[in-house]
Amino acid sequence: MNQTFFVMNLAETQKIITMNKGKTLENLKYRERDKVREVSKYIVSIFLVVLLLPNNMRVIAQNPIIQNDTMRFTMTFTSYSVLDSVYSPMKYHILIENQPKQIILDHYAQMDTSMIFSLLGDKSYDWATNLILYDLYDINAHLLYAFDIKTREDWLGFFQDKDIVMWHDFFKRRKDTQSTKVE
């Protein structure tokens, strides 16, 4: 009788263990499933960021022409200096903050002058193009600073006309210099 009881207890124990294993396995399955869901959320998020970021960069790289309403810039000042008997006058610099800055500057540097003047004549791009040219060619922006020109509205009229004439002269001198170097 003791043996039967022991066998029954062993059978019951095995039954209980089997039932608990099932629950434990079931619980493990739920926990693993939750972990998989959590990890897959991160994977999907990372995938979307990786997928979308290069597309945005490609769009900017394909058309890095900045509109007036998206233009961001700062104006900095460097005082005069004498280094190795070379005098550098004080200067106000325009630095664009739009990113990717180097792609934008490279694009404008490769643009022909007719396209640049077309942008300078377009009310959606004129102010941004002007500031990018100041940054690209490191032109002293002392008048923009002196007259507190910080927006397109401040720049319109006299300063716009002055800058367009300045850019005509600048590109003419540059073209003359380049043609002299070639000959």
Q: Return the pLDDT at 4.
A: 46
**Cβ atoms of 78 and 90 closer than 8 Å:** yes
- What is the distance between the alpha carbons of residues 91 and 109, in angstroms, rounded to a whole number? 22
3-state SS class at 94: strand
Q: Return the pLDDT at 168.
A: 96
- What is the distance between the alpha carbons of residues 42 and 29, in angstroms, rounded to a whole number? 20
Q: Return the pLDDT at 158.
A: 85
Q: Return the pLDDT at 88.
A: 72
Spans in the chain with pLDDT lower than 70: 1-33, 36, 39-63, 179-183
Q: Return the pLDDT at 91.
A: 87
Q: Which amino acid is at 116?
A: I
pTM above 0.75, yes or no: no
- What is the distance between the alpha carbons of residues 14 and 21, in angstroms, rounded to a whole number? 10
**Of how many residues is the chain composed?**
183
Q: Return the pLDDT at 124.
A: 94
CB-neighbour burial class of residue 103 (10 A; exposed 0-12, middle 13-18, buried 19+): middle
**Cβ atoms of 139 and 95 closer than 8 Å:** no
Torsion, Cα 168 181 138 132, to 10 degrees, reads: 50
**Cβ atoms of 155 and 161 closer than 8 Å:** no
Say if strands 86-88 and 81-83 run parallel, antiparallel, or are unpaired.
antiparallel
- What is the distance between the alpha carbons of residues 170 and 46, in angstroms, rounded to a whole number? 47
